[in-house]
Structure 1
Amino acid sequence: MLAIKNLTKSYNGRTVFKDLSFEVEPGQVLTIVGPSGIGKTTFLNILSGLIAADSGSISIDGNNLAIDGTRQGSEVGVIFQDFNLFPQYTVTENITLAPRIVAKENKNEYRKTATELLDELDLTEHQDKYPFELSGGQKQRVAIARALAMKPGVLAYDEPTSGLDAKSTDRVTAIIKKLQGQGATQLVVTHDLPFAQSLNGKVLDFSKDVQR
């Protein structure tokens, strides 16, 4: 379970959000909506450990995560809006890089995981391609596979359908629902209200439900 308690963040004297508190149960999808500039991506960056919060706490299954921007673990896997795939590496290399270098997994383990993820996300035929050879939807699935390869406690998406056509959006929706059925805890930041409504989960509206 993901638990956020009294999380507060300010920039230059302006409060982005104050005493933000909620819980996400295993297998639950929380969709975070609201207009641009309201703090959704800031929250996601704090959750992933990229920036520091002012106060509060984040825990996964009772284990507290650092909120001071120094976190090094892979407890939260984030799929960023621009995918952030390494252009010099193939699909398989993108997926296995962090397990090999950061998690220090042995070759048999990270190769087995990559093979399973490639199959599950319908990417096997693209495993030796480079990012420039992929469509937007294919890149999105590679980014999801790369995050899942580190076996995170929480999976978070930043605008996962941005720039995707209807077919690719449907595929991303199906992946999120499939992972939900497998018990994955997921957060989805989106402006796409039809997409948000298609997911089986709760909605947190940063324009209405968050203190400032």
Structure 2
Amino acid sequence: MRVVLGIWRWRHNPLRRTTDLIEAWLAVLVAALLVFGAPAAGWLSGSALNSSLQRTVATQQQERHESTAVMVTDSKQHGNTGFFDPDSASVQSSDARVVAQWTTAGNVKHVGTVTAPRAHLAPGDTFTMWTDTHGTQVPAPLNGDVAHFHAVFSGIVAALLTAVLLLGAWRLAVWRLVHQRYKELDRQWAHVGPDWGRTGTGS
């Protein structure tokens, strides 16, 4: 508000240059965009991402089912198998590849090599895994709270990036205005400089 009042009182100042007025109004515009535009950009970005992720959550929770598998034998494949846990945001490193038997939601029995949640299993041990509608093992469905967290974080990042871009554009515009002032000053000095201090100059 003080800046706006200052501009209003300054508009008839004889020392005011056009570039001064432009710079002042640019400051007001950038301040308004930082207060309202950056949060709006973050909110829109976060809301759009949250809607998309929540649709993914609903789809995964509908298509993926929790099954109980029984280990048949060890497949001799240990270590990182690349399954991603969306809740802990980490790749399981203590898992193992085993031959197991499991039954899907449609009471269809399957036997195959799958990823067990821990390496030390014996034949007959049971463990929980997630499967799709075809009975193929898949990662656990995305959690709704985790999806919301990612959306909020992305919205904050979008707001910060918007603010950085606005400030960068403002600094560039001010630099251009200052450069234009110096060029105008050079032109004026080139015009009056040679006669500066001479008697009768300007008469």
Q: Which has the larger radius of gyration?
A: 2
Give the alignment's TM-score, normalised by structure 2.
Answer: 0.19
Q: Which has the higher strand share?
A: 1
* Structure with more relative contact order (C-alpha pairs < 8 Å, separation 6 or more): 1
